[in-house]
Amino acid sequence: MSPDTGWTRKHWVTVADDLLAAVQRYRSPRGGRIDLPGAPAKAGVVSDGLEGFARTFLLAAFRAAGDDDGTVLAPYREGLVSGPGPAGPDAWPPIGSHGPGGQPMVESASVALGLLAARRWTWDLLDDGEQDRLENWLRGALRNEPAPNNWYLFPMTVAAFLDEVGRGDAETARAIDRALDLLEVWYRGNGWYSDGDGRAFDHYIGWAMHLYPVLVAHLRGDTAQLERLGPRLEEFLGSFAATFDVNGAPLHQGRSLTYRTATLSAVALGEVVGWTPLRPGQTRRILSAGLRYFLDRGALTDGIFSRGWHGPHAATLQTYSGPASPYWASKGFVGLLLPESAPLWTAVEEPPPSAGPDRAIVIPSVGWLVQTTEADGMVRVHNHGSDHINPWDADGGEPDPLYARLAYSTRTGPTAVRNAADNHIALHVRGRESVRRRIHPIGSGPDWVASWHQPQFPGPPAFPGGPPVAGGPVLPQCRIESLVVARGAWEVHVHRLRSVPAGIPVTVTGWALAAATPQDLDLQVDGASVTLRTGATAARLVGCHGFAAAEVQRAPQGTAYGAWALVPTLRGTVVPGELLVTASTLTGAAETTAPGVTVEGGEVSVGWTDGARTTCTWRGAIPAVVTTP
């Protein structure tokens, strides 16, 4: 049944049981908190303990509901009584507004969702007083202010549960209506939401924006809501499912990547609710390969999820990541809601979308171009639309490597801030290097996508390791317009610099390769071309027009894929009116010849190795890109 991964539902159940058993060692006296070891998050150790309870409780609830057996929930029932109770070593912190005291609002959604999925073994077994105390704690989520993004779905989930158990009122109705209204505002098309105002597209779209409202509707039997939101989930999965590597890896982009298998939740949810373009065998192939991907690469230390990607990795984390934060991975186990007899678990595994043929999938609403190759099953996503900057925020400061880069992949991670930036174009003025922050989409086509940004020059930190300060150079009206067209394993980038003074140095970087030791990396620099190799993976960056030399920079903090990272780099000088053109590839297959590129005025012609030709004419505001076989 599982010719690729070898895994069945029984393997998923075993992993779930092992994860739940491992955390019980850190259970508080009456089970209200699970205090995992490690440095606390900014919310503090008490909040971290609630997080340990809530996120593993959700896993236990999925496990119990799918097998119609509440045994696994026995250690959690006592915590549902002691957590909302009087102060003590088990008590949960009160729910506050976003900011100090706000983290419990996040965890209230996991508690409510677990209660909704496994009500008969949890809520229904509590006496009236115990239910009252639990309700009173949960209502804190309805009476405080969420962060202006997916957080509004947390009180919605709490309200939906209270309504389901007969405790709904005007307060719960307001929380539900408010969240659903915002969901409409944040819907951008093509099945994609933005995580709040602005352009924030990452894994939160799957594990939050789709998961909470759709799963809540499913668990409540709300067919009208499913008929409204289900088609969006199905369309979303049409592009999102293609971002999983054939080896199981999710795309390494966006924040909170330490949640790991939470990236799988939307894929599983589509099968659970019956809104997916994938066949059941394809869905299970993505899910089982994704779970194995992390387990096979050291995600667990003594049975506990570490904070990182494969193993521990500090640069992957945000300040809100505590010892129990990785257990949002529980969301990836939502497929356990389906019993062993369901098609998800009985169909024969089928290859995922990334297995081939070669594809370029444009997502216009997001500004992404997804590039997959059959020869290696690798996925690359070219980013010309997701920047994670609020509309009310200033377009300045240091970049966010998890959003600001021109491209991301399933086998490379972005380098850390204040390291040499991968997949980036930068101007160099007065010793400062420009950064890319707010991204403005220009247009897209079947195999291309384009955007522009205004280069920002953050000043030096006020103290070592601190944030940048104001006072960097300013180039009035300066903008960098960037376009990428992809075919096979190669992509060609075209950059047009507007209102940039002549003579300013400019660099363009490509894919950063990382390995455990420098001996694991091979490099070759030849004129305006750089080739890096580690194992079966190769990255190449070729300066086609506007570059005088190539080099390799080291990123001392490495990436999530290795402690030793190198960044291929091209150097040139700004010539007004001239385009900068590069060709690059990231491949796990045999390296192929670079496409031939010619530039004349505002026109770029690309001759691909399969005989196809792309012509890019960029004389006006929007480029005209045509590819012919």
Q: What confidence score (pLDDT) does residue 466 get? A: 63
pLDDT at position 395 over 90? no
For 134, the token pair is 């639990």
pLDDT at 407 over 80: yes
Q: What is the mean pLDDT of residues 259-273?
A: 98
Please give the pLDDT value at position 100. Answer: 86
Residue pair 5/349 in contact (Cβ under 8 Å)? The answer is yes
List pLDDT tens digits, range 471-517.
Answer: 678 899 999 999 999 999 999 999 999 999 999 999 999 999 999 99
Q: What's the confidence (pLDDT) of residue 474?
A: 87
Confidence of residue 362 (pLDDT cuts 50, 70, 90): very high
Mean pLDDT of the chain: 96
Which amino acid is present at 220? R
Q: How far apart are CA 173 and CA 170, in angstroms?
A: 5
- Which pLDDT does position 503 carry in this prediction? 96
Tokens describing residue 56: 């593993």
Helices (H), ranges, 326-446: 343-346
Is 224 a residue whose pLDDT tops 70? yes
Tokens of 619: 């004389």
Per-residue pLDDT, 434: 95
Identify any residues that bridge with 564 across adjacent strands, giving them in sequence order.
515
Q: What does the pLDDT average to over 277-306?
A: 98
**Is 80 exceeded by the pLDDT of residue 465?**
no
Beta-carbon count within 10 A of 274 CB: 11
Give the confidence band of 469 by pLDDT, cuts at 50, 70, 90: low
DSSP 2-21: -TTT---HHHHHHHHHHHHH
**Sorting pLDDT into bands at 50, 70 and 90, what band is 394?**
confident
> What per-residue confidence (pLDDT) applies to 473?
84
Considering only CA atoms, which of 167, 168, 146 is closest in space to residue 155?
Answer: 146
Q: How high is the pLDDT of residue 579?
A: 96
Per-residue pLDDT tens for 58-116?
999 999 999 999 999 999 999 999 999 888 889 999 999 999 899 999 999 999 999 99
Q: Is 279 exposed, middle or buried (0-12, 13-18, 19+ CB in 10 A)?
A: middle
**What tokens does 386 get?**
């997701």
Predicted confidence band of residue 29 (pLDDT cuts 50, 70, 90) = very high
Assign 467 a pLDDT band (cuts: 50, 70, 90): low
Dump pLDDT digits (tens) for 591-613. 789 999 999 988 999 999 999 99
pLDDT tens digit string along 228-252?
999 999 999 999 999 999 999 999 9
Identify the pLDDT of residue 219: 98
Sign of CA dihedral 374, 375, 378, 380: negative
Which pLDDT score is estimated for 470? 60
Nearest to 407 by CA among 458, 356, 360, 341: 360
List Cα–Cα distances, 120 to 61, 125, 609, in angstroms. 10, 7, 61
Q: What's the confidence (pLDDT) of residue 10?
A: 98
Sheet arrangement for strand 596-600: 596-600, 603-607, 613-617, 624-628
pLDDT the model gives residue 396: 80
When pLDDT is averaged across residues 413-441 and rounded to a whole number, the result is 95
pLDDT beyond 70 at 537: yes
Residues 36 and 24: their CA atoms lie apart, in Å, by 9
* Phi, psi for 152 (deg, rounded to 5): -65, -15
Mean pLDDT calculated for residue range 421-427: 98
What is the Cα–Cα distance from 300 to 549, expressed in whole angstroms?
43
Q: Is the pLDDT of residue 321 over 90?
A: yes
Q: Which DSSP letter does residue 197 get?
A: S
Residue 290: per-residue pLDDT: 98
- Coil, strand or helix at 508: strand
First to last CA, the chain: 39
What pLDDT does 462 receive? 60
- Give the pLDDT confidence score for residue 464 in this predicted structure: 64
| Residue listed under structure tokens 């073994």 | 121
